[in-house]
Amino acid sequence: MKILILGAPGAGKGTQAKLIAEKYQLAHISTGDIFRSNIQGNTPLGQQAQQYMSQGLLVPDELTIALVKDYLETNHFENGYILDGFPRTIPQAESFDAYLASKQECMDYVIDIEIPDEFILDRMSGRRVCTKCGATYHIVNSPSKKEGICDTCGTALIQREDDQAETVKKRLEVYHAETQPLIDHYKGKAKYLPVDGTGSVEEVFASLNKMLGA
Ligand code: AMP
């Protein structure tokens, strides 16, 4: 099974993608996570990506497409995967469609987490992440047991540079201009599953499960 998960930054794509990957035994492929781990490791890819990410801009298509193809060529995902954060532009989608077609494969489901921009700004400003194990918290909705410290590994939590208010506004603009058109692009190509993203993590996951099981 191959799933693509769409939604504005802060819609909860990463959280839902992880839950779906666990439940359906799929690989979770997050281009944002891959870029971040390259930034942490100070690789040439990380150095290139950081200048765009820190400003709320997208990493150029050629770089991102090459990264994903390389990732899929070097790893074998027998059960399929869920793509989180890729494709994010029409050229990325077209290039990825052609890649899948060349393997006689296709996307099965496109999940769209729908959520108004006002919700996003609130959510993102409270998000805190662990740079060591990747766990995500929210200072109000899902706080760590000890303030500022990861429950899982005890590392200090940080606010991602691109979660700061001005950068979030830029990311939302980019989302509406570049990524939202993918909804129409994929309607008719894969089963389209829109879900209300304003509920709790559990509510959104329950709705998705119902639709995926249908
Ligand atoms: P995310 O964790 O998915 O919100 O991604 C964080 C940032 O990584 C984005 O704001 C972009 O700068 C970059 N990024 C992630 N995926 C892509 C992609 N498919 N195309 C271009 N840039 C991306």
Asked if the structure places residue 92 within a domain, the reply is yes
Give 198 Cα–ligand 1 centroid separation in angstroms.
Answer: 22
Over the range 195-209, which residues count as b (16 or more CB within 10 Å of their CB) and which as e?
bebeeeeeebbebbe
Asked if the structure places residue 157 within a domain, the reply is no
pLDDT value at residue 76: 86
pLDDT value at residue 162: 82
CATH number, residue 189: 3.40.50.300
* Residue 214 clears pLDDT 80, i.e. is over it: no
**Strand segments (E) across 38-140:** 81-84, 109-114, 127-130, 136-138
| DSSP 8-state secondary structure symbol assigned to residue 11 | S
For the entire predicted model, the pTM comes to 0.87
CB of 162 within 6 A of ligand 1: the answer is yes
Asked if the structure places residue 129 within a domain, the reply is no
Nearest to 95 by CA among 122, 58, 63, 143: 63
The Cα–Cα gap between 66 and 81 comes to 18
Given a contact cutoff of 8 angstroms between Cβ atoms, the answer to whether 56 and 120 are in contact is: no
Asked if the structure places residue 10 within a domain, the reply is yes
Reported as a single tens digit per residue, the pLDDT across 164-189 is 888 889 999 999 999 999 999 998 88
CB of 58 within 6 A of ligand 1: the answer is yes
The number of domains in the chain is 1
Tokens of 148: 């500022």
Asked if the structure places residue 154 within a domain, the reply is no
59-77 mean pLDDT = 92
Nearest to 172 by CA among 57, 71, 36, 27: 57
Asked if the structure places residue 176 within a domain, the reply is yes
What proportions of the chain, in percent to the nearest 5, are helix, strand and coil? 50, 20, 30
Has 23 been annotated as catalytic? Answer: no
- Local confidence band at 153 (pLDDT 50, 70, 90 cut-offs): very high
Segment holding 28, helix H or strand E:
strand 27-30
Q: Which domain holds residue 198?
A: 2-26+77-115+172-211
Has 36 been annotated as catalytic? Answer: no
CB of 7 within 6 A of ligand 1: the answer is no
Asked if the structure places residue 101 within a domain, the reply is yes
Provide CB contacts within 8 A for 96, sequence distance 6+.
Answer: 65, 68, 86, 87
Given a contact cutoff of 8 angstroms between Cβ atoms, the answer to whether 125 and 208 are in contact is: no
To test the ligand 1 pocket, which listed residue (28, 45, 59, 182) has its Cβ within 8 A of the most ligand atoms? 59
